């Protein structure tokens, strides 16, 4: 049975909006986030990028505030205000002194519940987002990552770029933005998360005072099922100096029982300068400046990959070295000392992150979205410590199957 710590509290408002807080009385700041359970995977093909575009537009004015007044609101009191869009959620957040918590909640709720969407701002913001696309296209790392993601998941929405395309973004109308908000931004789809020096009952009272709309949002669109995963190899070119490559596969969801085995395997492989990939490919062979591995989890799947940037002459050997490290995990159990160090690294990062109120707020929001409860740090530490060397080896036997491992390579144009 889960027992949440006393400093973490959750409430459900009549309209379905959730409020979750973590009280940290030793700080003078608060981090506030409004999480919307909608992301790029909830879009139809013609809506590609609408969630991200909507995130931009919520900063462009409400019934009570101009775009400038929204921008000034937090900066004028020494705080900051921002937002991001992901595959499965959107977050609008602020950080400020604890005395400015009422202002932060009021501004964020005003943005999310009462946007104006002026036609002239929609037209300007389309240009802004298209410039953002160009910025990503000028980044080789972003290009190879987008192609790799498409390779893994297409035609599923997870395979489409969060930002959309120039064609889809240029097609958005004010009516479509309002309809999407009406469908996806219902209070029952919202979570208010606050971490820092804030009283839970006071937060609930403030949120209830400004959330004056209650309506029934729609269900997410019926998504196509994930196709069977098969190993693929894709090569593309750009006028660049370095070869950029990704080797990986679909991975595990946030709630998968093997997730800590994968996180530890990921740490051993590419979790820093002491990792196997860094020591072998960079330190031993000198093939690259940057090499790392990562895991991104979704509701029902995930993505694991190794990224490296190298000279074109070394690209094939780098891919072979990466696959050799996968094979090594399959064949030989991680030595006890190395596993202890990987566990300490994973736990240390987790615990050090708790010194940031923004990180604590993010944990609150994601726990609500993916687990519908607060997951105590002690529980995570216990699950990490429970993983044995042989567990990782047995997990690796199936997970690092070459038949499920894909490669995307971005080469310089010849």
Parallel, antiparallel or unpaired: strands 80-85 and 90-97: antiparallel
Instruction: Write the DSSP assignment of 228-269 as a string of letters.
Output: PP---EEEEEES-SSEEEEEEEE---TT-TTHHHHHHHHHHH
Q: Rounded to an integer, what distance in angstroms lies between the CA atom of residue 17 and that of residue 20?
A: 10
Between CA 182 and CA 192, with CA 188 as vertex, the angle to 5 degrees is 105
Whether 55 is catalytic = yes
**DSSP 3-state of 304:** strand
Q: Rounded to an integer, what distance in angstroms lies between the CA atom of residue 81 and that of residue 150?
A: 31
Residues 6+ apart with CB under 8 A from 61: 67, 70, 115, 116, 118, 121
294 phi/psi in degrees, rounded to 5: -155, 160
What number of CA atoms fall less than 13 Å from residue 184's CA on the CB side? 25
**DSSP 3-state of 137:** helix
Q: Rounded to an integer, what distance in angstroms lies between the CA atom of residue 269 and that of residue 264?
A: 9
Identified catalytic residue from 55, 100, 146, 325: 55
Nearest to 86 by CA among 370, 305, 410: 370
**DSSP 3-state of 289:** strand
Give the gyration radius of the chain's Cα atoms. 23
Residues 370 and 254 sit within 8 Å (Cβ to Cβ): yes
**DSSP 3-state of 90:** strand
Residues 251 and 303 sit within 8 Å (Cβ to Cβ): yes
Task: Show the tokens assigned to 188.
Answer: 């029952």
User: Annotated catalytic sites, by residue?
Assistant: 55
């Amino acid at each position: 049975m889960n027992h949440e710590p006393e400093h973490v509290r959750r409430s459900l408002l009549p309209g379905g909006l959730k409020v979750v807080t973590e009280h940290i009385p030793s700080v003078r700041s608060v981090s506030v986030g409004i999480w919307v359970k909608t992301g790029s995977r909830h879009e139809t093909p013609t809506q590609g990028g609408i969630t991200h575009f909507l995130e931009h537009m919520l900063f462009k004015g409400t019934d009570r505030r101009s775009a400038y007044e929204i921008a000034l609101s937090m900066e004028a009191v020494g705080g900051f205000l921002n937002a991001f869009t992901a595959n499965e959620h959107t977050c609008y957040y602020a950080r400020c002194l604890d005395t400015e918590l009422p202002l932060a909640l009021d501004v964020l709720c005003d943005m999310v519940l009462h946007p104006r969407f002026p036609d002239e701002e929609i037209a300007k913001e389309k240009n802004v987002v298209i410039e953002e696309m160009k910025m990503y296209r000028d980044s080789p790392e972003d290009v190879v990552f987008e192609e790799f993601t498409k390779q893994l998941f297409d035609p599923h929405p997870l395979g489409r770029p969060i930002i959309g395309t120039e064609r889809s973004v240029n097609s958005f109308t004010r009516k479509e933005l309002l309809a999407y908000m009406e469908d996806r931004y219902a209070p029952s789809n919202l979570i208010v998360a606050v971490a820092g020096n804030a009283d839970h009952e006071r937060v609930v009272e403030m949120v209830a005072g400004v959330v004056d709309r209650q309506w029934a949002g729609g269900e997410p669109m019926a998504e196509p099922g994930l196709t069977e995963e098969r190993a693929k190899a894709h090569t593309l070119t750009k006028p660049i100096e370095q070869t950029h490559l990704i080797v990986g596969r679909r991975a595990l969801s946030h709630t998968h029982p093997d997730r800590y085995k994968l996180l530890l395997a990921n740490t051993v492989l590419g979790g820093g300068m002491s990792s196997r990939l860094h020591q072998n490919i960079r330190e031993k062979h000198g093939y690259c400046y940057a090499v790392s591995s990562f895991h991104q989890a979704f509701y029902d799947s995930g993505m694991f990959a190794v990224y490296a940037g190298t000279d074109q002459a070394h690209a094939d050997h780098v891919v072979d070295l990466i696959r050799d490290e996968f094979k090594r995990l399959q064949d030989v159990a991680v030595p006890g000392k190395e596993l202890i160090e990987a566990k300490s690294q994973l736990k240390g990062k987790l615990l050090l992150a708790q010194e940031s109120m923004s990180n604590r707020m993010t944990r609150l929001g994601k726990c609500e979205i993916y687990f519908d409860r607060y997951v105590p740090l002690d529980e995570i530490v216990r699950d990490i410590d429970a993983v044995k060397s042989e567990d990782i080896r047995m997990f690796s036997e199936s997970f690092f199957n070459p038949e499920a491992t894909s490669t995307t390579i971005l080469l310089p144009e010849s």
